Amino acid sequence: MAHLLSKSVKQLVRKETLAAQVPEKQKSLLALKKEHGDHVIGNVTIDQCIGGARSVKCMVWETSNLDPEEGIRFRGLTIPECQAVLPTYSGVTGDGEPMLESILWLLLTSEVPTKEQVDSLTADLHARAELPEHVKTLVNSLPKDMHPMTQLIIGLNACQTESQFAKAYADGAPKTDYHIHALEDILKVVAVLPEIAAMIYRNVYFDGIVTKDTSLDYSGNFCRMLGYDDPSFDELMRLYLCIHTDHEGGNASAHATHLVGSTLSDPFLAYSGGLNALAGPLHGLANQEVLKWIQDLKNKFEAEGKPVNADTITEFAWETLNAKKVIPGYGHAVLRKTDPRYTCQREFALKHMPDDELFNVVDTIYSVMPDILKEHGKVANPYPNVDSHSGVLLWHYGFTQFQYYTVLFGVSRSVGALSQLYWDRALGLPLERPKSVTPEWLWSQVKK
Ligand code: CMX
């Protein structure tokens, strides 16, 4: 049976906010296409063609934009601006981290929500969060040594039986209604991910028991399901989930979601595609790699009776680079400065755990790594990215199972990638189909 949007969300998200915006945005995009469709906005070099399409402008993205120097803006707001204006759990804006529901509202509607709107969204997500029995059985049957990301992807794919979009499509729904059915699925995917994620965590590392507390917000309830009840950890989770949501459209997880969705695969399948991309070590898996790198470093020098300090970190960094491996958590395909997502996590650490041993290791790495990478000479951006800091914060609260960290990223990224998927369907964006060329064709262009 189709889930009905809660009354408040129905009014605020669909009827007043989104429904008013959709025709305007459709009109504007149509005008761009019709009146300026042949306007040239860039060239593509052979370097870009071979080099992963870096900087090729060929995708429209509503929800966020990434500036190489400044970093991410969610609907025009930087991370500090989001922290200053978005509703928090305490109800006092600026006191604590923004709620995940706040950023979902912002990304979806481009409007800063009120606390009342955010609370209505919390209630709506809790109401949708029930997992089908077959999903529970399936997730509980997975081998404990299967990577948590693989388990998450399997769990989400199995939830596809709940897709209202797929059902509406099969029933012949008109194209103009696709975004409405997509929104049902999008909210459902966001709602079910924490429980799937928590089941995996509890199954792999603990007793398999997941206890909800829906009197809390999305992040607080997620923490309880994972088995944590420290309010300070709830705040960390709010920050963590907010900053990982979106990073414009070209990153692999967002782009994969957008690409799969462009075939009119439903949001469950589309976001499973995104999660598969996120599971790669050059993308979301880097957060587990960072912790592994630090543990390897500590083990090596402890065995040699040496302290972890700037000198030993430098030595280990050069060993890594000379072995032709990457320093996880450093570098970025777009950013050319320290990632503001790194900076806000550092500020959280300075506030909540200034004397934490591992935080000090991460901070010491930050003090030496940019110069090492500059000297190495290959890296376009020698500064840390988001993944460089996230693990150490989790570790502080006893969340030391670093093979699991990317799952948290996966829960968060659903919010950005799927908010955009709503707009993909609302704007009627077509099937993605860039042109590939053969190496022979490239040679023929050079010889011309
Ligand atoms: N350590 C060592 N070498 C690095 C490096 C790093 N941290 N970052 C880039 N390089 C190397 C690249 O491998 C590349 O080498 P080759 O020419 O031999 O192929 C060269 O420097 C140039 O790469 P680049 O233009 O600076 O970076 P890319 O856009 O190709 O790649 C990224 C970006 C993130 C994949 C890369 O910086 C990297 O591998 N970083 C480590 C992994 C990581 O932290 N990923 C997480 C990114 C954030 C996220 O998506 O979650």
Per-residue pLDDT at 275: 98
Does residue 220 have its Cβ closer than 6 Å to ligand 1?
A: no
One DSSP character per residue, 104-128 reads HHHHHHSSPPPHHHHHHHHHHHHHH
Report the chain (448 residues): mean pLDDT per 10 consecutive residues: 52 72 96 97 97 96 97 98 97 92 96 93 95 98 98 98 97 95 95 98 98 98 98 97 98 98 98 98 93 94 95 97 97 96 96 94 96 98 96 96 97 98 97 98 94
Per-residue pLDDT at 15: 61
CB neighbours of 51 closer than 8 A, spacing ≥ 6?
A: none
Per-residue pLDDT at 100: 98
- What the chain holds in terms of domains, given with CATH numbers, is 1-36+54-300+409-448 (1.10.580.10), 301-396 (1.10.230.10)
Per-residue pLDDT at 46: 98
Instruction: State yes or no: is 3 an active-site residue.
Output: no
Per-residue pLDDT at 63: 98
pTM: 0.95
CB 197 within 8 A of CB 408: yes
Does residue 332 have its Cβ closer than 6 Å to ligand 1?
A: yes
Give, in order, the Cα–Cα distances in Å from 178 to each of 106, 156, 334. 21, 21, 32
Identify the residue whose C-alpha is closest to ligand 1 atom 10: 379
Identify the residue whose C-alpha is closest to ligand 1 atom 3: 326
Which residues is 72 bridged to in the sheet? 66
Per-residue pLDDT at 82: 98
Does residue 152 have its Cβ closer than 6 Å to ligand 1?
A: no
Per-residue pLDDT at 292: 93
CB 163 within 8 A of CB 185: yes
Distance CA 116, CA 103 (A): 14
Per-residue pLDDT at 17: 83
> Which position among 124, 185, 217, 387 bears the catalytic label?
387
Per-residue pLDDT at 24: 94
Instruction: State yes or no: is 387 an active-site residue.
Output: yes
Instruction: State yes or no: is 147 an active-site residue.
Output: no
Per-residue pLDDT at 6: 53
81 CA from centroid of ligand 1 (Å): 29
Atom index in ligand 1 nearest the CA of residue 51 equals 30
